């Protein structure tokens, strides 16, 4: 989980990269909160894995609703990432 709103695979993406998707090179990403974030001034980034049954049911319902072409999909775990009260690059500790 990167500070700029990306979940990356293969290698980290440590700076904001204002380019269109897909990002060049070997960067494989999911962009749940793609933004020019500066969490050094305000906010924190949290992540965790969960196998909570209620959370898995919600994830299954979301996948079934938004991706009906995968009717046999079953969620076995989820990654929950939160960019809590982060500010934009150039922002201050009071502009989250």
Tens of pLDDT, residue by residue over 33-84, are 877 777 777 888 899 999 999 999 999 999 999 999 999 999 999 999 998 8
- Can you list the positions of beta strands (E) in 31-96? 37-38, 44-50, 78-84, 87-88
**34, 86 Cβ separation under 8 angstroms:** no
- Cα-based distances in Å from 28 to 4, 6, 20, 40: 14, 10, 13, 25
**78, 4 Cβ separation under 8 angstroms:** no
What distance in Å separates the CA atoms of residue 13 and residue 34, rounded to the nearest whole number? 11
Q: What is the mean pLDDT of residues 8-31?
A: 75
Q: What Rg do the C-alpha atoms of the chain give, in angstroms?
A: 16
Q: Indicate if the pLDDT at residue 5 is higher than 70.
A: yes
pTM of the model: 0.75
Q: How many whole angstroms from its chain centre is CA 5?
A: 5
Q: Which phi and psi (to 5°) does residue 7 adopt?
A: -110, 115
């Amino acid at each position: 989980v990167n500070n700029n709103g990306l979940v990356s695979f293969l290698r980290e993406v440590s700076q904001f990269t204002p380019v269109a998707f897909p990002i060049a090179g070997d960067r494989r990403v999911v962009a749940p909160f793609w933004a020019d974030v500066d969490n050094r001034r305000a906010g924190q980034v949290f992540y965790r894995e969960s196998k909570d049954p209620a959370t898995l049911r919600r994830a299954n319902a979301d996948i079934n609703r938004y991706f009906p072409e995968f009717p046999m999909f079953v969620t076995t775990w989820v990654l929950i990432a939160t960019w809590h009260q982060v500010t934009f690059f150039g922002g201050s500790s009071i502009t989250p």
